[in-house]
Amino acid sequence: MTRDAPSEVFDERGRLYALISAWLIPPVPPPFWRCAAASVIAVAAAILMRVALLGLSGGVGATQPFFPALVLVTLYAGWRWGLVPMISAVIFGWWLWGGRDGQGLSDDEIATMVIFLISAVLTTVVAEGLRGALQGLAKARREQNDAETRLEVTQSAVGVGPWDWDIVKDILNLSPEARRNLGATPDEPIDWARMWALFHPEDRQRVSDTIRASVRAGDACEVEFRLADLSQGERWIHARGRMLRDPAGRAVRMVGVNFDVTDRRRDEERLRESEARFRSLADSAPALMWVSRVDGQRQFVNRAYVEFAGGDYESALTLDWRGRLDPEDLPGILKGQIAGEGSRKPFSLEGRYRRADGAVRWLKSFSQPRFDPNGDFEGFIGIAFDVTDTKQAQADLAGVNELLGERVQAAMAERDAAQAALFQSQKLEAIGQLTGGVAHDFNNLLTVIIGALDVVERHPDDATRRKRMLAAALAAARRGEKLTQHLLAFARRQPLRPEICRIDRLIAESEGLLRRALGDAYGFHLRLGGGVRTALIDAGQFEAALLNLVVNARDATPAGGEVTIESRPVTLTEAAGDLEPGPYLRIAVRDTGTGMDAATAARAIEPFFTTKPPGEGTGLGLSQVYGFARQSGGTVEIESRPGQGTSVVMLLPVADALADNEAADPFDPVANPSPARVLLVEDDPEVAALVDAMLGDLGHTVVRAGGVAEALERLDQDQAIELVLSDVIMPGGQSGVDLAEHLAAARPGLPVVLCSGYTGGDQGRARAGDWPFLAKPFSLDSLARALTQARPH
- Which tens digit of pLDDT belongs to each residue from 13-33? 555 555 555 555 665 678 888
For residue 452, what are the contacts with CB-CB under 8 A and spacing of at least 6? 469, 470, 472, 473, 690, 693
Question: 11 burial class (0-12, 13-18, 19+ CB within 10 angstroms)?
Answer: exposed
In Å, how far are 171, 289, 359, 473, 753 from 301, measured between CA atoms? 56, 6, 21, 28, 39
Looking at the chain, how many residues does it have? Answer: 793
Angle formed by the axes of helices 408-458 and 463-478, to 10°? 160
**Pair 311, 357: CB distance under 8 Å:** no
pLDDT at 429: 39
pLDDT tens column, 549-579? 888 888 888 888 899 999 999 998 888 878 8
pLDDT at 238: 86
pLDDT at 565: 94
What proportion of the chain, given as a percentage, has pLDDT over 70? 79
pLDDT tens column, 176-212? 888 888 878 777 887 887 888 888 888 888 888 888 8
For residue 366, what are the contacts with CB-CB under 8 A and spacing of at least 6? 346, 348, 382, 383, 384, 432, 435, 490
Helix (H, G, I), strand (E, B) or coil at 259: strand
Measured CA to CA, the distance from residue 252 to residue 215 in angstroms comes to 9
pLDDT tens column, 282-299? 777 788 888 888 887 888
Max Cα separation, the chain?
163
CB atoms under 10 Å from CB of 314, counted, come to 9
CA atoms within 13 A on the CB side of 614: 4
**Pair 610, 618: CB distance under 8 Å:** yes
Span 112-123, average pLDDT: 86
pLDDT tens column, 623-642? 778 888 888 889 988 888 88
Question: 420 burial class (0-12, 13-18, 19+ CB within 10 angstroms)?
Answer: exposed
In the predicted structure, residue 492 carries a pLDDT above the cut 50: no
pLDDT at 372: 83
In the predicted structure, residue 46 carries a pLDDT above the cut 50: yes
pLDDT tens column, 698-748? 899 999 999 999 999 999 998 889 999 999 888 888 888 899 999 888 888
Model confidence at 793, in pLDDT bands (50, 70, 90)? low
Residue 297 gets the label, from left (phi > 0), alpha (psi -120 to 50) or beta, of beta
Model confidence at 420, in pLDDT bands (50, 70, 90)? very low
pLDDT at 566: 94
Cis, bond preceding 498 (omega within 30 deg of 0) = no
pLDDT tens column, 362-378? 988 888 898 888 888 88
**Pair 259, 161: CB distance under 8 Å:** yes
Model confidence at 485, in pLDDT bands (50, 70, 90)? very low
CB atoms under 10 Å from CB of 130, counted, come to 15
Please state, rounded to an integer, the average pLDDT across all residues of the chain: 78
Span 601-618, average pLDDT: 66
In the predicted structure, residue 304 carries a pLDDT above the cut 80: yes
pLDDT at 753: 93
pLDDT at 484: 45
Model confidence at 419, in pLDDT bands (50, 70, 90)? very low
pLDDT at 306: 85
CB atoms under 10 Å from CB of 317, counted, come to 17
Measured CA to CA, the distance from residue 652 to residue 620 in angstroms comes to 21
pLDDT at 713: 92
Closest CA to 490 of 351, 382, 606: 382
Model confidence at 662, in pLDDT bands (50, 70, 90)? very low
In the predicted structure, residue 336 carries a pLDDT above the cut 80: yes
Measured CA to CA, the distance from residue 131 to residue 127 in angstroms comes to 6
pLDDT at 481: 44
For residue 563, what are the contacts with CB-CB under 8 A and spacing of at least 6? 518, 522, 523, 524, 525, 550, 553, 554, 557, 589, 590, 591, 592
In Å, how far are 53, 117, 677, 715, 754 from 719, measured between CA atoms? 104, 98, 10, 6, 20
Which secondary-structure segment (H or E) carries 424? helix 408-458
pLDDT at 627: 82
118 vs 455: which has the higher pLDDT: 118
Measured CA to CA, the distance from residue 533 to residue 568 in angstroms comes to 9
* DSSP-derived secondary structure letter, 101: G
Closest CA to 497 of 369, 338, 334, 623: 369
For residue 5, what are the contacts with CB-CB under 8 A and spacing of at least 6? 173
Measured CA to CA, the distance from residue 650 to residue 544 in angstroms comes to 13
Model confidence at 761, in pLDDT bands (50, 70, 90)? low
CB atoms under 10 Å from CB of 221, counted, come to 20
Span 258-264, average pLDDT: 81
Span 319-328, average pLDDT: 84
Closest CA to 428 of 483, 390, 381: 390
Q: Are strands 360-371 and 752-756 parallel, antiparallel or unpaired?
A: unpaired
